[in-house]
Structure 1
Amino acid sequence: MRITMIGSGYVGLVSGTCFADFGHHVTCVDKDAKKIEALENGRMPIYEPGLDALVAANVAAGRLAFTTDLARAVKGADAVFIAVGTPSRRGDGHADLTYVFDATREIAEAIDGPCVVVTKSTVPVGTGDKVEAILREKHTAEKVAVVSNPEFLREGAAIDDFKRPDRIVVGAEDTRARGVMAEIYRPLNPNVHPLLFTGRRTAELIKYAANAFLATKITFINEIADLCEATGADVGDVAHGIGLDSRIGPKFLQAGPGYGGSCFPKDTLALLKTGEDFEAPQRIVEAVVKVNDSRKRAMGRKVIQALGGSAEGKTVALLGLAFKPNTDDMRDAPAIAIVQALQDAGAAVRGYDPESMEMAKPLLDGVTFCSDAYDAAKDADAVVLVTEWDVFRALDMRRLAEVAKGRVLVDLRGVWDKGAVERAGFTLTSLGR
């Protein structure tokens, strides 16, 4: 099938490339001419393991192309996916749908035959209705149908998530549109990766509900970690004990410095605003947002406490800056609030991340960026693990002790072994223990 993907950011690029790898012919569109030029030359705008090789293979096979010409890309397409950004709107936290509606208007002008327009972007309930209204100004229902097909991609594992999904949610009100979507996803085994067909509004809400629930699990175990510290319990054992319950499950029960990234922060805020608009307040999610925001800065205070209560004139090394491993995404990363808290307390901050330092530099003013973990720890009074990249899991603690000035290690991810740390002469501060 011929597929056009409007937006060549994280969702659009990964989705378009994977569709091409299924055998479809895909054109990815973006207004940013420099991004398109880079993609045509094999340079990725994001870090995602395996994406560069997959893009190159499908471009070479003639199934994947990039352009800034939306009108030309849309003509003759069987399906046009909208995968543009929906950032939080300043002032009220609602999803900013400007890019979605601008893209819809351009699509409406370019469509020249039967087509399914698919919202892949994360959008509030009812957005598909508005997209349909814009298209109806120029096209009949028989010609153009609107579908919601939310993405469930984890940064760092997006290709595997796309090709081996738990489920594929398709919100459609039109039988022909359902048939087109079934054909697009036909390469996936329906017995293993079920297509869940729902109403369009239901599909839009599934995405927000899923992310809000996962954010709630993260925030819940973080608060339990605080309780464990106060009572002498071990959050790792608590998480394991409750995760063995099949009704709860073990995922998203790792205590940490709070969630960040491109999805959870903006999607929880958007869900709160949707609840207000429909007079169905989401009080649990509201509490989750408040607790998570306060937790990030509290991690800075935890480091200060490990330093004896004062960071004035001290040097702190942060290992990991991205919000999670296997990505360069710095959006709402806990490291941002931690750096601010440490600098406000008079500390100098050194930092290292395997992939995100170029993204981090504009956001972390005054931080000294280093070449590796040992360089970051040089003359540091405290070393803090912020993001659990694999490269940090097996650090040589004795070598770390040779370069660090202080003997304080703070593990915000529960990765380091206490015995190994103490044998190297460090004291270990961790979460929930």
Structure 2
Amino acid sequence: MKIAIIGTGYVGLVSAACLASWGHEVVGIDKDAGKIASLRQGIMPIYEPGLEELISQAVGQGLLSFTTSAAPAIAGADIVMIAVGTPPRLRDGEADLSFIYAAAKEIAASLNGFTVVVTKSTVPVGTGDDIERIIARTRPDARFAIASNPEFLRQGSAVADFQAPDRVVIGVDDERAGVLLQELYEPLRLQGIPVMTTQRRTSELIKYAANAFLAVKISYINEMADLCESVGADVRDVALGMGLDRRIGAACLHAGPGYGGSCFPKDTLALLRTSQDHGVSLRIIQESIVANDARKRRMALKVLNALGGNSEGRSVAILGLTFKPETDDMREAASIPLIEALQRVGLHIRAHDPQGMANARSLLNDVEFFDDPYECASGADVVVMMTDWKALKRLDLGRLAQVVRNRVLVDFRHVFDPVEARQHGFSLSTIGVQQEAAPEMTKQAPPVVTRIRHHTPVMQNR
């Protein structure tokens, strides 16, 4: 098949690469000329494991190309996929569909022959109806069908998620569109992966419902972690005991500093706004959002408590900045409110991330960035494990103990072994277990920071 994909972000780029690897002719379309020029040179706009290699192979085989000229790609396509952003509007949190509607108008102007227009972007219920009206109004003569095909890609494992998903959801109100999309995903069906066909509006709701439910699970286990700290229980064992129940499952039962990223915060808020528009109360979702916001603020208090409540002249080393490992995405990362809260009480922030520092620099002020985690921790009064990258999970605590000013660890990801930490003289504070008493801090004043050093980020060429 010939496929045009509008948008070369996480969803569009991964979808384009994977569909091309199945032998389809795919064109990735984006208005950002700089991004398209970089993609043509093999330079990735995002960090995603395995994506660069897959794109290089598909481009080399002539199955994948990139362009800013949408018209020719759309006119020759059997399927046109919309994979543009739907960020929350600042004024009310509803999904901003302006990019979706602009794409629909662009598609309408270039349609040639029967075409299935597929929405892969996460959109509120009824958006497919809007797209259908826009195209029909712009091109009354066009032959087309609108379908919903939501993505379920996790950043850091998006390529694997596309190639071996839990399920594929196809939402159609047109039989021809359903047949074509079933054919598109036939390689997955042959592997035994469920390919589910439903109504278009149902498909649109499935994505929001799934993400909001997972967000509720995360907020729930985080509140259980707080209870565990108070009653002397261990949240890791609580989560294990819950997760072994097949009705519940272990996914999203890892206590941490709160959920972030491009999906959960945006999608839970958009689902809540949709429910309000239809006069339906989703109190569990609403409380999950409130709990997650409070969770991120609570983490700053945990760091301050580890410092004995004394922030004057102290420095904090933050290890890991992105909202999860294996991605450079800083959207809604828990590190941002944590750092901002710590700065407000006068703490100096030192930070390291294997891939996310370039994006972090555009979001954070007065932060000292380091390429090396040990250099980042050098002279710090407390080291905070924020994102559990594989490289950071392998840190040598003996070496770390030699460079820090005070041997205090705050571990938000349960990375460090408590016994090993104590062997190296560290006081360890973590989530969901009773905390050790705050240590006596070194009395010597730290050196005054006269300027912010800007080190070359690890991902400078990505």
Deviation for aligned residue 1:142 = 8.2
Aligned partners of 1:310 and 1:345 also within 8 Å: no
Q: How is 1:194-213 mapped onto 2 (pairs within 5 angstroms)? A: 194-213=194-213
The structural deviation recorded for 1:143 is 1.6
Distance in 2, Cα, partners of 1:180 & 1:284: 38
Q: Which residue of 2 aligns with 1:123?
A: 123
Q: Is the 8 A contact 1:117 1:147 kept in 2?
A: yes
Which whole-Å CA distance do the structure 2 matches of 1:139 and 1:184 have between them?
A: 26
Amino acid at match of 1:266: K
Shift of 1:191: 5.5
Three-state SS of the structure 1 residue aligned to 2:187 is coil
Tell whether the 8 Å contact from 2:136 to 2:142 is kept in structure 1 after alignment. Answer: no
Q: Distance in 2 between matches of 1:335 and 1:93?
A: 21
1:364 maps to a residue whose letter is: L
Tell whether 2:149 aligns with 1:153. Answer: no
1-side partners of 2:160 and 2:107: how far apart? 30
1:247 aligns with 247
Shift >4 Å, 4+ stretches: 138-142
User: Which residue in the other structure is 2:227 paired with?
Assistant: 227
On the 8 A contact 1:222/1:256 being kept in 2, the answer is yes
Aligned to 2:303: 303
Contact preservation (8 Å) 2:316, 2:381 = yes
CA–CA distance in 1 between the matches of 2:335 and 2:329? 11
Deviations 1:119-173 (A, max 9, x none): 0000000000000111112456982000000000000000000000100000000
Q: Which position in structure 1 is the counterpart of 2:80?
A: 80
Equivalent position SS for 1:187: helix
Task: Name structure 1 gaps, 5 residues minimum.
Answer: none
| 1:429 aligned counterpart, secondary structure | strand
CA displacement, residues 356-400 of structure 1 (integer Å, 9 cap, x when unaligned): 000000111011001211011000000000000011112111110
Residue 336 of structure 2 aligns with which residue?
A: 336
Q: Residue deviations 1:255-281, cap 9 Å, x none?
A: 000000000011011001000011112
Paired letter, 2:308: G
Q: What's the secondary structure of 1:17's corresponding residue? A: helix
- Counterpart in the other structure of 2:349: 349
Corresponding residue SS for 1:341: helix
Per the alignment, residue 258 of structure 2 pairs with 258
Q: Give SS of 2:321's match.
A: coil
In 2: Cα distance, 1:151 partner to 1:136 partner: 26
Alignment of 1:362-373 (within 5 A): 362-373=362-373
Partner of 2:7: 7
Corresponding residue number in structure 1 for 2:215: 215
CA contact (8 A) 1:315 1:382 kept: yes
Q: State the alpha-carbon separation in 1 of the partners of residues 232 and 57 from structure 2.
A: 53
What code does the residue aligned with 2:341 have?
A
After TM superposition, the score normalised by the length of structure 1 is 0.99
Q: Provide the residue aligned with 1:274 in structure 2.
A: 274
The 3-state SS of whatever aligns with 1:100 is: helix
* Partner deviation per Cα, 1:9-37 (whole Å, 9 max, x = no partner): 11000001100001100000000000000
1:165-204 equivalent positions in 2, closer than 5 A: 165-190=165-190, 192-204=192-204
Show the counterpart of 2:90.
90
Query: Hey, what's the Cα distance between the residues in 2 that align with 1:302 and 1:141?
Result: 62
Task: Name the SS for the 1:137 alignment partner.
Answer: helix
Question: For 2:294, what is the secondary structure of its paired residue?
Answer: helix
Say which SS state the counterpart of residue 261 (structure 1) adopts. coil
Q: Contact 1:5–1:29 (CA<8 Å) still a contact in 2? A: yes
**Which residues in structure 2 correspond to 1:27-38 (within 5 Å)?**
27-38=27-38
Q: Point out the more displaced range, 350-359 or 130-139.
A: 130-139
SS of the equivalent of 2:371 reads coil
Q: CA-to-partner distance for each residue in 1:156-215, whole Å, 9 max, x for gaps?
A: 000000000100000000110001101111222345211100100000000000000000
Mapped contact 2:112–2:142 kept (Cα < 8 A): no
Distance 1:191 1:159, change over 3 A: closer
Structure 1 counterpart of 2:111? 111
Greater mean alpha carbon deviation, residues 112-121 or residues 132-141: 132-141
Structure 2 partner of 1:49: 49
Shift, 1:310, TM fit: 2.0
Between 38-47 and 192-201, report the one with greater CA deviation.
192-201
In the alignment, the residues of structure 2 paired with residue 403 and residue 69 of structure 1 have an alpha-carbon distance, to the nearest angstrom, of 54
- Whole-Å Cα distance in 2 between the matches of residues 371 and 65 of structure 1? 34
**How many angstroms does 1:90 deviate by?**
1.2
Partner Cα separation in structure 1 for residue 311 and residue 184 of structure 2: 56
> Unaligned regions of 5+ residues in structure 2, if any?
434-462
The residue type equivalent to 1:81 in the other structure is M
**1:241-299 CA distance string (max 9 Å, x none):** 01100000011100000000000011011001000011112111100001101111211
SS of corresponding position for 2:248? coil
Taking the aligned partners of 2:141 and 2:207, their CA distance within structure 1 comes to 26
Determine the C-alpha separation between the residues in 2 that align with 1:300 and 1:138. 52
2: CA distance between counterparts of 1:272 and 1:360? 29
Q: Secondary structure at the match of 1:355?
A: coil
Aligned partner of 1:310: which letter? N
* 1:416 lines up with 2:434 in the alignment: no
Q: Please give the secondary structure, in 2, of the residue aligned with 1:169.
A: strand
1:29-73 CA-partner distances (Å, limit 9, x unpaired): 000000000000000000000100100000000000000001111
Mapped partners of 2:398, 2:229: distance in 1: 27
What is the alpha-carbon distance in structure 2 between the residues aligned to residue 254 and residue 36 of structure 1?
38
User: What is the one-letter code of the residue matched to 1:20?
Assistant: A
C-alpha RMSD of matched pairs (Å): 1.0
Deviation string for 1:67-111 (max 9, x for gaps)? 000111101200000000000011110000000000000100000
SS in 2 for 1:3: strand
- What amino acid is aligned across from residue 42 of structure 2 in structure 1? G
Q: How many residues align?
A: 433
How far apart in 1 are the matches of 2:415 and 2:127? 42
Alignment of 1:375 with 2:405, yes or no, is: no
Distance of 2:281 and 2:144 partners within structure 1: 34
AA aligned opposite 1:113: G
Number of the residue aligned with 2:385: 385
Q: C-alpha distance in 2, partners of 1:412/1:340?
A: 17
Aligned-residue identity in percent: 54
Is residue 189–residue 195 contact of structure 2 (8 Å, CA) maintained in 1? no
- Specify the SS of the correspondent of 1:117: strand
- Secondary structure of 1:188's match? helix
SS in 1 for 2:295: helix
